[in-house]
Chains A and B, each alone.
Chain A
């Protein structure tokens, strides 16, 4: 107990700061990823041409197999090359900016794919009934397709969030802070408590977000479904 108290006296400030940085990275990345992937998924699912949808999904799918660590590194190098190309320092090659781009890119696919699949799998007979009732495409989207696809879309968002919290531990390497700072410091100095001080809050954050998103899904689901 005394050892634990001493540890928190030494590292409490660092833990709090790292956890806040981690939270900021995760929330911003997830909001941006949802803002891109959900509308895009809806448009693609309602698009008549299957080819456009397949090409767009294929492009986003290319990102996912890249190891997350490599994606973070690639973003930094990409920013550097853009700067070289423009001959000016337009983009910060270190810190939050490249980290956020990598996190958003990595969070896109599960949300996009689930939104697309969720909307597409709505029973065509239900849609025919809706058309027969005289619904406009807009009404159809908000009253039929989205409510029925909601559980699948939210499943994508939840998977993405948990991944993002995990990947955000890696952006410490490019100076973006977060709980990875504590984990890497613990690793390079063989300091088990520090590794745990980084890992445990990250796990707690993932659980808390998952629970929150489950509540959100419940709130969004229209009564009667």
Chain B
């Protein structure tokens, strides 16, 4: 065979291979009428995520959920690239993109109230921190947090998390409008945050409040790769403080069964985290950022889906069709 023949053969084979691959992968994809899910990497794997939810409600999506970055899933749902996402209840984009959160009618998800989680050692070195951070207690309800998140995530005129945080602190009278950071003579504090907007805002709020109310210098380590990265860094002393959610602490970190009572969840994590790891839960900011399955409003109405159970029933009926 000459080189020319071999090359022609190779080209033909490659084209056939590509056509076969494209055909096969389009056949494997979900058929019409079936719902496509888009979840974050963390949600797919967490004990209180897709696995636990699928077990509690007894269902499975026909196609494996598509995995994507938390920031992308709202737009992906609005643009009909996926139909169901694991939205965070306090994300401003749910309302902005006209999405609707479904009701967790079997109360699978525990409450996820956010609170500062701090090392006992750090608190012993800087006892004033407890008082400073507890000034934030109850200052943010669901609507307020959603509003702050949207200010950062909106498509037109998005704000920096630091700007939004500063404005929040000033307008709530927590710091004065001309407050400046202290001189840093009291040492450095490392504040962490996970890889989504709300965590950056909470990180900036805590950082700004501490900087302007003490002489502690703050090193921000926001946008870390997820819950276990933050938690393990805190445990090993690479972080001093970050905002954690009670449900996440209870189910994802302690591997306890979900409870539906917020106070019970809070006191359980508070007790166990201190006993086990010498980590202290300070007072909650007030809002509950639960995971929630979310769809396009029109799509959900059209399919008559209002609760998680409706969704499961729809998936089952589509499967048997």
Contact = CB atoms under 8 A, between A and B. Distances in A.
Interface of A: 14, 17, 21, 24, 27-28, 31-32, 34-35, 89, 92-96, 142-143, 146-147, 172-175, 177, 181, 184-191, 194, 216, 219-220, 222
Nearest to A222: B3
B19 to A, nearest CB: 10
Interface string B1-31: 0111011001100110110011011000000
Q: Which of A173, A186, A188: most chain B Cβ within 10 A? A: A188
16 contacts: A24-B24, A27-B17, A35-B14, A89-B80, A92-B81, A94-B72, A172-B67, A174-B72, A175-B76, A175-B82, A181-B67, A185-B42, A185-B67, A188-B195, A188-B225, A220-B3
Given A185-B67, A191-B45, A220-B3, 4 more contacts: A94-B72, A185-B45, A188-B225, A190-B232
Give the 10 A-B CB pairs with smallest separation, nearest first. A188-B226, A190-B228, A175-B68, A188-B42, A184-B41, A185-B41, A94-B81, A189-B45, A31-B14, A142-B4
B225 A185 contact: no
Contacts of A220: 3, 6-7, 10
B67 A93 contact: no
Contacts of B69: 173-174
Contacts of B44: 185
B67 A175 contact: yes
A189 B42 contact: yes
Contacts of A216: 10
Contacts of B66: 95, 175, 177
Interface of B: 2-4, 6-7, 10-11, 14-15, 17-18, 21-22, 24-25, 38, 40-42, 44-46, 64, 66-69, 72, 75-76, 79-82, 195, 225-229, 232
Contacts of B42: 185, 188-189
A189 B46 contact: yes
Contact of B227 (A34, A143, A189): A189
The listed residue with most B CB atoms (<10 A of its CB), out of A34, A187, A189, A216, is A189
Nearest to B69: A173
B12 to A, nearest CB: 12
A28 B25 CA distance: 12
A28 B225 contact: no
Given A94-B76, A175-B81, A177-B66, A24 B227 contact: no
Contacts of A188: 40-42, 45, 195, 225-229
Given A24-B25, A93-B79, A142-B2, A184 B18 contact: no
Given A177-B67, A188-B45, A147 B3 contact: yes
A31 B3 CA distance: 19
A178 to B, nearest CB: 10
A219 B2 CA distance: 11
B287 to A, nearest CB: 22
Given A94-B68, A188-B229, A189-B228, A143 B3 contact: yes
Contacts of B67: 172, 175, 177, 181, 184-185
Most buried by A among B38, B68, B227: B68
Contacts of B25: 21, 24, 96
A137 to B, nearest CB: 14
B196 to A, nearest CB: 11
B81 A93 contact: yes
A80 B243 CA distance: 33
A14 B64 contact: yes
B107 to A, nearest CB: 24
